[in-house]
Amino acid sequence: MEKTIACPIRFLKGVGPKRAKVFAKAGIDTVEDLLYYFPRRYEDRTNFSSIAKLKEGQVITIRAQVLTKRGTGPFYRRGFSITELTVADKTGKISCVWFNQPYLKDYFKVGQDLILYGKVERYGNRLQMANPEFEPVSEEGESLSTGRIVPIYSLPERMTQRTLRSFIKHALDEHLPKCQDFLPYDVRSRNDLLNLARSLINIHFPESPEMQKKAYERLAFEEFFLFQLPIVLRKLKRKEKKGIAHKAVGEPLNNFIAGLAFKLTPSQEKVLAEIKNDMVDVQAMQRLLQGDVGSGKTVVATAAAVIAIQGGYQVAFMAPTEILAKQHFEKISSQLTALSSEQKIKLLLLTSSSNKKDKEKIYKNIKEGKIDLVIGTHALLEEDVKFKNLGLVVIDEQHKFGVGQRALLPKKGANPDVLIMTATPIPRTLAITLYGDLDVSIINELPPGRIPIKTAHLGENEREKAYAIAREELRKGNQVFIIYPVIEESYALDISGAKKMYEELKQKQFREFKVGLIHGRLKQEEQDAIMLKFKNKELDILVATTVLEVGIDIPTATCMIIEHAERFGLSQLHQLRGRIGRGRQESACVLVSDSETEEAAARMAAMVKFSDGFKIAEEDLKIRGPGEFFGLRQHGLTGLKIGNPLTQLQLLKLAREEAIKLTESDQGLEARQHVLLKEKLLQRFPEYEKLMIVG
């Protein structure tokens, strides 16, 4: 087989079908996957220590000769065996022991020279090294595990660091000479980036810390560049298609805003102005509206809907759950009552639970243009839903829909405007870079009169205090959420589950109250029915998992207890907390956690200190990095194995600028110097081929 990096891993020297299965479990199917399986850290093993100078607690490298060896066990009762060596250099000797590796007894030979790396420990009155990494001193070739900066990997099962390093070295030796660099030379030259071969060699086996840093920079740039290209191409493609030039002035819009029971905040007015500017432009709007929980995104979206409808167009408003769609329907209906009879907007609700007869009538009315505004769930994506004149699409909580789903609804019109809303704040600079094909608007203030939620952090042994706070709220006639990270109890993680605790809370701590349970394994209609019961005050307490992260407004829900709060991300905790404090009463959120790690303690402290979602987002990024925060699957960031948008924002911006420069001059990536890049892009993102067809 031709030795390209695309060839299956089983054809790499020494791998074969059996080991290929082990690699596959770690996500390594090809030689390329192996070369892009990066070290998680490095150890500097360039200097040897003399045995006489060793001290307890040191992690060191020594070169020594085997004086004696012995193997004991296996001890069947205790289930382990021991291999022990005494090794010496010119200055002294030390014992080395390995547990449960009986084959090593036959591997080591008296008189053999070894290089050993590990931690020095005290055993009784002597020093020893337990389970050190080792390598025979060889006169031939170079050592991969000692005398150099050594890579440390997350290991596939039943594989040692030495074995994995050996396979990676084989892959580099065999396949790198034929590996062509797909990053165009001018891009590399402008940004002083290493070529691909030198980068892969130095990320695995660095010549020096400086070369490792340059390799890291090149490979991170590469990932960002491949991630940005489709985003930039999408934006370019969008510019080629004409949209609808709406009229942003009109009596219906004026009457709608004048008839609201509250005044728009300056932030809402600014965002509405940005939306108006987009909607009057002939190029279709593609705008992301970010706003904290309760900041008033929906009323701004409704104003945009009125703009479209007053010009004779229809609007589709999609929410991720039936209960949220119903909430939007009720809220928007009440806000539109100020319009005069001639300006009345005909709106309806379309969900999966609508009966067949009703659906057929709804489909007919939408198709004939008798409905101005359709609010619904995924049901809006059904083939039978056809619009006469779709002019605006609003998508709420966009991260709850797949990328493909989000693209389906706008296709039901002739390039309609699109407004995407999210209550997950992302710092603006990152949002602009990550959602590069969207314009970004931010509502960064809450409506006046919103009372901040008091947040407290209690330890596991203080749980009764949390229950006492909840009981106090219940006796005032208010309602309570109690959140658990898992449905079933986990003995491995030592955490309680929602199902078991629901039974206990119902029978013991809150037996005089009506308790309900909601979790993600229930069908959507069951979840909606339980939420409706809670909304109608048929339940006092709702025990739940994170299905509440996107939820409905319940003004009488004034208390939330989040159990095992250390198991949640910071932005997730903030989203959950946003389910309370929706009314005019003071609300309390209690985080129950022993937060044993520094990271967990930092999250709890941030929740107690901050209520602003953007502050929370920044803290979350600092504490956990972007991986968890961004929901990688939704952003196409699954390819980021080495790049970190948080710590390498400048590099990400640079990659974006280069992607813009390249696609403006060669959108189809047809130039000879871009052929390999096009192949790589389509290998990574096959769905973007149509974006590269010019004209």
Q: Taking the domains of the chain in order of start, what are their residue ranges?
A: 1-42+161-177, 47-147, 251-281+296-422, 454-610
Please say if the pLDDT value at position 195 is more than 80.
Answer: yes
pLDDT score for 695: 42
Percent of the chain with pLDDT over 70: 90
pLDDT score for 634: 40
Query: What are the residues facing 318 on neighbouring strands?
Result: 376, 395
Range of weakest confidence among 144-148, 196-200, 273-277, 455-459: 144-148
pLDDT band at 630 (very low <50, low <70, confident <90, very high): low
Helix, strand, coil shares, percent, the chain, to 5: 45, 20, 35
530: DSSP letter: H
Q: Residue 377 in contact with residue 321, Cβ under 8 Å?
A: yes
Tokens 């941030």 sit at which residue? 606
Q: What is the mean pLDDT of residues 245-250?
A: 90
Q: What is the mean pLDDT of residues 88-94?
A: 94
Q: What is the pLDDT of residues 5-19, one digit of tens each?
A: 788 999 888 898 999
3-state secondary structure string, 156-167? CCCCCHHHHHHH
Angle CA 334–336–342, to nearest 5:
135
Rounded Cα distance between 322 and 641, Å, is 36
Rounded Cα distance between 303 and 519, Å, is 34
Q: How many helices (H) and strands (E) does the chain have?
A: 24, 21
Q: What is the mean pLDDT of residues 600-618?
A: 87
Q: Residue 667 in contact with residue 655, Cβ under 8 Å?
A: no
Please say if the pLDDT value at position 585 is more than 50.
Answer: yes
Rounded Cα distance between 5 and 24, Å, is 16
Please say if the pLDDT value at position 119 is more than 80.
Answer: yes
Q: Residue 465 in contact with residue 458, Cβ under 8 Å?
A: yes
pLDDT score for 177: 86
Q: What is the pLDDT of residues 230-246, one digit of tens each?
A: 888 888 877 777 889 99
The gap from C-alpha 137 to its chain's centroid, in whole angstroms, comes to: 45
Rounded Cα distance between 316 and 347, Å, is 10
Please say if the pLDDT value at position 77 is more than 70.
Answer: no
Rounded Cα distance between 297 and 295, Å, is 6
The three-class DSSP label of residue 329 is helix
**Statement: 251-281+296-422 belongs to CATH 3.40.50.300:** yes
pLDDT score for 302: 96
Query: What are the residues facing 518 on neighbouring strands?
Result: 544
- What is the b/e burial string over 344-355, where b = at least 16 CB atoms within 10 angstroms of the residue's CB? ebebbbbbeebe
Amino acid at 99: F
Angle CA 246–252–258, to nearest 5:
125
pLDDT score for 459: 92
Q: Residue 614 in contact with residue 427, Cβ under 8 Å?
A: yes
Residue 353 phi, psi dihedral angles, 5° rounding: -85, -5
**At the topology level of CATH, where does 47-147 sit?**
OB fold (Dihydrolipoamide Acetyltransferase, E2P) (2.40.50)
Please say if the pLDDT value at position 142 is more than 80.
Answer: no
Q: Residue 284 in contact with residue 342, Cβ under 8 Å?
A: no
- What is the b/e burial string over 593-624, where b = at least 16 CB atoms within 10 angstroms of the residue's CB? bbbeeeebbbbbebbeebbebbbbbbbbbebb
| pLDDT averaged over every residue in the chain | 86
Q: What is the pLDDT of residues 658-686, one digit of tens each?
A: 999 999 888 888 899 999 999 888 887 77
pLDDT band at 688 (very low <50, low <70, confident <90, very high): low
Residue 415 vs residue 620, higher pLDDT: 415
240: DSSP letter: H
Q: What is the mean pLDDT of residues 178-207?
A: 94
Taking each helix axis as running N to C, give the angle between helix 322-335 and helix 524-535, from 0 to 180 degrees, rounded to the nearest 10: 50
Domain 454-610 in the same topology as domain 251-281+296-422: yes
Alpha-helical (H) ranges within 476-523 are 498-507
* CATH class, range 454-610: alpha beta
pLDDT score for 526: 86
Structure tokens at 120: 């020095």
Rounded Cα distance between 675 and 184, Å, is 9
pTM: 0.66
Q: Residue 419 in contact with residue 634, Cβ under 8 Å?
A: no
Residue 126 phi, psi dihedral angles, 5° rounding: -130, 165
Nearest to 412 by CA among 384, 375, 378: 384
pLDDT band at 428 (very low <50, low <70, confident <90, very high): low
**Cβ neighbours of 453 (radius 10 Å):** 18
pLDDT score for 402: 58
